[in-house]
Every structure is written in C-alpha cells, then in structure tokens.
C-alpha cells in the first residue's frame, strides 16, 4: 500500500500540470493559483484561488483538476476555492514569467501596482517605448499595450 | 412577493412560467466558508453583494454598445470583477439561511434586494455611466480598504481581494472623468448634467439605517451589533470626499448639493429602475430552472 505521503506528492504533480485555459503556457502552479493538495482517507482536496474575483476560468480549472487527478488514479476529488491570502502577481513563478514573455505576453513587474508608470517592455522586440492602449484587455488579468518601436500590439499581464 | 404567491397557487398555461423552488437543483458554486454567517452578518453581506450584482448587471449592458472597443472590454472586465465579489458575498449571505448564491440572485423579488439606489441608476449616456462609476468605485475602494480589517475572516478575505480590483476601476473612472470634463464643450455639458442626475444618490451610501432583521434584537442598531465586523457607512463619508476631491478639482467640477434622493434601498424600497433590471437578470433562471450551458 502506498503511503499518503507519496500519494500527496503524486497528487500535487498531477494538479500542478493543469494549465490555465486562457494562458495555456502557464500551469496553475506557475500562476500561483494552486495553493494546496491534501490526500486523506476520504479522498483528495485541492485548494485553488482565483486571480481575479470574477475570473471565469476558475470553473474550467476546477474541472481540469478533477480530470487530471482522476486520470492519475485518485477518486473522491474535491476542489475548494479560497480568497485568502489574496492572489497577487507576485505568486507567478520565475518559470511562469519566462513562459509568459515567450508566449508574447509582457509579464507583470514584481513591484505590484505603481502609480508612477514604469515602462512595459515589448515582448516582441524588447523596446521600452510602449504605451498602454487600454487598462483592461482580453481577460481580467491583462491590459492592452502597443509597441511604438515595432508597432505590434501585445497583452501585458498587469500587476495586482 | 404577491406575484410569486399567486402564481404558485393559480393555474399557469405556460409550462415554464411556474416554478417550484423545491424542484430546482442549483450547484454549490463559489468560495466556501465552513462557518455560516449570522443573520446580521448575512444582512450586511447582502448589502454589499446586491450593490455589486446590480452594478455588474448594469455595466454588462454596455457590451457591444460602448463608444469604443476598448471600453466594451473595460466595462465588461469591471462588471466581471463585481460579479465575482457578488458571488462570494451572496454565497456567504445565503449560508445563514441555507440558500445558495443562485437562490439569492435569481429567486428573490425586488423588495428583498438591499442594494443602494446609486447602483440601479440607468446607464444613460456614457457620461452618466462614468459619473456613476466614479462615485461607485471611490465608495467601494474606501469601503473595502477598511473592511480588510474586519474580524470576520470571510468579509476580510473578500475585501482584501476586491480592493485591489476596485483600485483599477477607480483609476478607469478618474481618467474618464478628466477626459470628459476637460474634453469638448459637449462632453463637459454632458458630464455636468450626469453629475446633477447621479449625485443625489450618493448620500444613501453613507446612511447607517437598516431594516429590522428577523431573529435579531430590534433595539440594537445593525452597525452597533456589527462593530469590528462591518464598516459603519457613516464613517466612510470623510474618506470618500477626500478620495474624490483631487479628481474633481483637476476636472473643475463641483459635486451638486441641490437635493438628495430619498434612498431606502437598504430597506428594500427601490426606484422604478430595479424591477426591470431584475426581470432581465432573472428571466432565464426562472423560465428554465437548472438551465446550464
């Protein structure tokens, strides 16, 4: 019989491999959405947290987590949402930031929201000569930018 | 209320027009708390949750109708954040009476809603929507900023999350206030008119008056009973005024003081605007109970 300890590590890996449906280069682990995986006698409990309160991807993530753990051989999978501590962009891992940039989304700055606007680097050409077109972008977590140097529009994962 | 009672006893020829609540299965959806809210905390959560729900529904109307594509997206994003706050708060409010967030959103009638009148004001032209957003987001910001310190962990958790999102909403409204007020003669004329129309509804946000709550001591005011848990609305007036002052000054605007609307939303008395909004919000759930897509 496999111990709970080994099971917990395996359950974490299975859940951690689930990707964000809207930013499919990021796993929910990289994104900091996956908070806890516990294996007990009565099944597996996974705790996730939304990036934004109304994030519609949470339902898809919840289903994907159940599917991933079920395929990994677990039964009685429960997914619980928590709001505390509140998610911030600081929860995105270094690997996640690199993946975002390679995907063409400018990663958030580490400092959180800043009133003094710092330049956002264009993920296409690396220029700092960019401007914000709109504060709100294709999903809750992104703002729309355009690069003055190469002319390309791009999403910026905004700091929260 | 009376409508529901009549339709549940009378014969209705439309097979979808009559709904038995017991036959509806609604999924258990959002952020869980192991401890149910007390009736008083539930009342307060309902105030905040209804404000967010009603404003989200209003803003959703702008999708495909905003002055520019980016605004479609911005207002939809703001509405989505508010809907997220509403879901958590209504879920918590419902825990006091064994109801789900969907029960509260779809199956309550107008008189049971506790939203303030500001949030149900019609979208009007874009200036009206922006002035409403300006008042709403500055109010929500100062509110959630303080509610973070609540001794109730669920309210504190929702507030800590919401305050950061509302900060973006506030910035969005500020930028548009400046642009509209200092833009063309026409945009300024419309902004002034919107300010006259919307501002009378601001005072209600800072009223501590509440409806009697079933199962609670009627002699003790709600916010005395919720000391440390809720934020007393009257204490938010000063920080709200301080928060909006620099923007109004830069925009060259004065908040009108000519008259104040009667209010009463917290007691379930609403303007003529809420019922049509709720009809649209609730029609699908009521005609096709349990529908999902």
Domain span at residue B125 reads 35-286
> Which residues does chain A have within 8 Å of residue B164's beta carbon, measured at their own beta carbons?
86, 88, 113, 160
Nearest to A140 by CA among A152, A119, A158, A115: A158
**CATH number assigned to the domain comprising residue B141:** 1.20.1260.10
- Residue B218 has a pLDDT of 79
> Which residues does chain A have within 8 Å of residue B74's beta carbon, measured at their own beta carbons?
134-136
- Residue B12 has a pLDDT of 41
3-state secondary structure at position A144: strand
- Residue A100 has a pLDDT of 92
CATH architecture of the domain A4-81 equals 2-Layer Sandwich (3.30)
**Tens digit of pLDDT per residue, chain B (293 long)?**
333 333 343 444 444 443 333 333 333 444 445 689 999 999 999 999 999 999 999 999 999 999 989 899 999 999 999 999 999 999 999 999 999 999 999 999 999 999 999 999 999 999 999 999 999 999 999 999 999 999 999 999 999 999 999 999 999 999 999 999 999 999 999 999 999 999 999 999 999 999 888 777 878 899 999 999 999 999 999 999 999 999 999 999 999 887 889 899 999 999 999 999 999 999 999 999 878 76
Indicate the range of A27-41, A79-93, B77-91 predicted with least confidence. A79-93
Pairing verdict, β A142-147 and A153-157: antiparallel
Report CB contact under 8 Å: B70, A82: no
Position B259 in a domain:
yes
pLDDT level of residue A4 (50, 70, 90 thresholds): confident
Report CB contact under 8 Å: A113, B156: no
The three-point CA angle B289-A58-A85 to 5° equals 125
DSSP string spanning B93-123?
A: HHTTTT--HHHHHHS--GGG----HHHHS--
- Residue B216 has a pLDDT of 78
- The nearest CA of chain B is from the CA of A85 a distance in Å of 7
pTM equals 0.83
Determine the residue of chain A that is closest to B52 in CA distance.
A54
The residue with tokens 């910001």 is B141
User: Which of A50, A84, A144 shows the shortest C-beta gap to B84?
Assistant: A50
Position B282 in a domain:
yes
The three-point CA angle B141-B145-B147 to 5° equals 115
- Residue of A35, A54, A79 best to disrupt the B interface, most CBs of B under 10 A: A54
Domain boundaries, chain A: 4-81, 105-157
The number of folded domains in chain B is: 1
Position B187 in a domain:
yes
Q: What is the pLDDT of residues A46-74, one digit of tens each?
A: 999 998 888 888 889 999 999 999 999 99
> Which residues does chain B have within 8 Å of residue A86's beta carbon, measured at their own beta carbons?
157, 160-161, 164
Is the Cβ–Cβ distance between B231 and B217 less than 8 Å?
A: no
> Which residues does chain B have within 8 Å of residue A116's beta carbon, measured at their own beta carbons?
none
Q: Give the pLDDT mean for A19-34.
A: 92
pLDDT level of residue A118 (50, 70, 90 thresholds): low
Is the Cβ–Cβ distance between A37 and A11 less than 8 Å?
A: yes
- The nearest CA of chain A is from the CA of B98 a distance in Å of 19
CA distance B92 to B86: 10
Q: What is the ipTM of this complex?
A: 0.70
Position B1 in a domain:
no
Position B7 in a domain:
no
């Amino acid at each position: 019989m496999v111990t709970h300890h080994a099971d917990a590590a395996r359950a974490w890996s299975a859940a951690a491999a689930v990707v964000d449906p809207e930013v499919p280069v990021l796993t929910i682990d990289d994104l900091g959405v996956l908070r806890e995986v516990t294996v007990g006698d009565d099944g597996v409990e996974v705790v996730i947290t939304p990036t934004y309160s109304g994030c519609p991807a949470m339902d898809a993530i919840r289903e994907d987590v159940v599917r991933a753990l079920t395929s990994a051989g677990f039964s009685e999978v429960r997914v619980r949402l928590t709001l505390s501590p509140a998610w911030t962009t600081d929860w995105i891992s270094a690997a996640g930031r690199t993946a975002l940039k390679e995907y063409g989304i400018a990663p958030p700055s580490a400092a959180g929201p800043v009133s003094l606007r710092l330049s956002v680097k264009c993920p296409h050409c690396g220029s700092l000569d960019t401007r914000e077109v709109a504060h709100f972008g294709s999903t809750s977590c992104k703002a729309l930018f355009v690069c003055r140097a190469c002319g390309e529009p791009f999403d910026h994962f905004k700091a929260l | 209320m009376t409508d529901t009672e009549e339709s549940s006893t009378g014969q209705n020829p439309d097979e979808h027009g009559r709904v038995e609540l017991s036959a509806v299965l609604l999924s258990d959806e959002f952020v869980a708390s192991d401890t149910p809210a007390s009736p008083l905390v539930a009342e307060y959560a309902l105030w905040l949750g209804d404000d967010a729900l009603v404003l989200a529904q209003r803003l959703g109307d702008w999708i495909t109708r905003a002055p520019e594509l980016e605004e479609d997206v911005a207002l939809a994003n703001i509405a989505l954040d508010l809907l997220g706050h509403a879901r958590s708060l209504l879920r918590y409010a419902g825990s006091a009476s064994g109801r789900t967030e969907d029960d509260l959103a779809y199956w309550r009638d107008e008189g049971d809603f506790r939203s303030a009148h500001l949030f149900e004001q019609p979208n009007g032209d874009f200036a009206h929507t922006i002035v409403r957003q300006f008042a709403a987001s500055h109010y929500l910001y100062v509110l959630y900023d303080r509610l973070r310190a609540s001794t109730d962990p669920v309210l504190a958790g929702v507030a800590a999350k919401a305050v950061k999102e509302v900060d973006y909403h506030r910035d969005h409204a500020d930028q548009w206030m400046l642009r509209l007020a200092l833009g063309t003669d026409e945009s300024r004329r419309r902004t002034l008119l919107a300010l006259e129309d919307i501002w009378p509804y601001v005072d209600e946000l800072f009223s501590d008056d509440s409806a009697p709550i079933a199962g609670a001591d009627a002699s003790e005011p709600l916010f005395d009973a919720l000391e440390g848990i809720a934020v007393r609305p009257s204490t938010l007036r000063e920080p709200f005024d301080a928060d909006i002052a620099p923007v109004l000054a830069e925009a060259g605007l004065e908040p009108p003081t000519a008259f104040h609307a009667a209010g009463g939303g917290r007691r379930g008395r609403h303007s003529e605007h809420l019922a049509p909004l709720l009809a649209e919000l609730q029609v699908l759930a009521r005609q096709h109970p349990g529908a999902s897509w």
